Amino acid sequence: MGRITLDKVSKSFGEVNVIPPLDLTIEDGEFVVFVGPSGCGKSTLLRLIAGLEDITSGQIRIDGNDATHMPPAKRGLAMVFQSYALYPHMSVKKNIAFPMKMAGVDPAEQERRIKSAAEALNLTAYLDRRPGQLSGGQRQRVAIGRAIVREPAAFLFDEPLSNLDAALRVGMRLEISELHNRLETTMIYVTHDQVEAMTMADKIVVLQAGVIEQVGSPMELYHKPRNAFVAGFIGSPKMNLIGGAEAAKHNAATIGVRPEHIAVSATEGTWKGTIGVSEHLGSDTFFHVHGTGLADAMTIRAGGEVDLHHGDTVFLTPDADKIHRFDKEGLRIE
């Protein structure tokens, strides 16, 4: 079980209010991702749930029980740290066994769980090594192994992949998703990488300056961002946000069009501009178009290879159905 409820939870460090009162419910078995720009309070929120920080006011309930003043050890949660936080003086096996040793799990059971975790995570060959003798990816797996054997009510991940190189990151992302499918345990995952958020989450929580901007499934956030901030944050490359006269034509203070919802042509279209940088990936082509008078640079994503280059004059046409409109406060207009 792992249903976590935050009820008017707030956090201040001294004078500084990092998280104003906030409500959030995480359902049992859900994969929830906290995203937001650096310093917005993602880690703080996670640590409040973990019990590593005291909350300033409000209540945290885990499976209906008040956990507000419970020490971390009693909450039945497991955490995977960005730095992995492995015990450097213990072998991999001892690292994985440590939480069970603390809980007084009987040795035969310990062996069994270590064995199955090691098999699941491809660690069997490394059980006798020290963390210092492992690669980044292997360390990450040990940290996950240490979390799994506790059979926790929920897993907490704080940017677990940010120390890995790009290729490894994609691999581990899949492994964690598979782990979630297999265990069906609640997972709360902090990242500032919106691709991780989109690919892994059942539910994304977008935070800005400690405030929840929107909670929803990845596709909800993609198709119906509640405000301009979410619109700009979710999706890659970023949505083009356009103000001024062009927005006024749509009865909005700001309009947004995603790069993939703009057609590009050498001959005709709504907006005219000049290509600055063009990035040809084969599968996709990205153009940064200047001189449209709409925004500094418009980002366009075209499928496949498009034979246009730096300095070419182009015409852009937005997909009228996919224009997002926002009012003066940045809120979505339906």
Partner 1 sequence: MATQASRSAARLMVSPSVILLFIWMAVPLGMVIYYSFRRYRLLNPERAGWNGWSNYSSFVFSPDFGGALVNTLILVLGVLIITVVLGILIALLIDQPIWGQGPVRILVISPFFIMPPVSALVWKNMFFNPSNGLFGELFKYLGMRPFDFLGQAPLGSIVTIVAWEWLPFATLILLTALQSLDSEQLEAAEMDGAPVLKRFWYIILPHMSRSITVVILIQTIFLLGIFGEILVTTAGGPGTASTTLPFLIFKEALLDFDVGTAAAGGVVAVILANIVAIFLMKAIGKNLD
Partner 2 sequence: MARAVTPARKSINTAAAWTVALIIFFPILWTILTSFKPEPVAVASPPVFLNFDWSFENYETVIQQRGYGQFFWNSMVIAFGSTILGMIIAIPSAWAMAFVHGKRTKDLLMWMLSTKMMPAAGVLVPIYLIAVYFKILDTRFLLTIVLMLMNLPIIIWMLYTYFREIPVDILEAARMDGASLTNEILYVLTPMAVPGIASTLLLNVILAWNESFWTLNLTAFNAAPLTKFIAGFSSPQGLFYAKLSAASVMAFLPIMILGWFSQKQLVRGLTFGAVK
Name the residues that contact partner 2, by CB under 8 A.
14, 50, 52, 71-73, 77-79, 81-83, 85-89, 98-99, 102-103, 146, 150
Interactions with ligand ATP, residue window 187-216 (CB under 6 A): 192
**Residue 254 CB-density burial (10 A; 0-12 exposed, 13-18 middle, 19+ buried):** buried
**Residues binding ligand ATP: what is the number (CB under 6 A)?**
12
Q: Identify what 131 binds: ligand ATP, Mg ion, partner 2, none; CB under 5 to 8 Å per kind.
A: none
Collapsing DSSP to helix, strand or coil, 252 comes out as: coil
Q: Identify what 98 binds: partner 2, ligand ATP, Mg ion, none; CB under 5 to 8 Å per kind.
A: partner 2
Query: What DSSP letter does each residue of 182-195 carry, written as one string?
Result: HH--EEEEE-S-HH
Q: Identify what 51 binds: ligand ATP, Mg ion, partner 1, none; CB under 5 to 8 Å per kind.
A: partner 1
Q: Does 214 bind Mg ion (CB under 5 A)?
A: no
Report phi then psi at 165, rounded to 5. -75, 165
Q: Identify what 50 binds: ligand ATP, partner 1, partner 2, none; CB under 5 to 8 Å per kind.
A: partner 2
Nearest approach, Cβ of 79 to partner 2 (angstroms)?
5
CA angle 76, 77, 83 (to 5 degrees): 145
Q: Which residue has the tokens 């049992």?
A: 28
In sequence order, the 6+-apart residues with CB closer than 8 A to the CB of 85 are 143
Q: Identify what 194 binds: partner 2, partner 1, ligand ATP, none; CB under 5 to 8 Å per kind.
A: none
Interactions with Mg ion, residue window 43-72 (CB under 5 A): 43
Intra-chain end-to-end CA distance of the chain, in Å: 38
Q: Which residues pair with 265 in a beta bridge?
A: 315
Look up residue 54 and give its amino acid: D
Rounded CA-CA distance 199/69 in Å is 34
Site of interaction with partner 1 (CB under 8 A): 51-54, 71
Site of interaction with ligand ATP (CB under 6 A): 13, 16, 18, 36, 38-44, 192
Site of interaction with Mg ion (CB under 5 A): 43
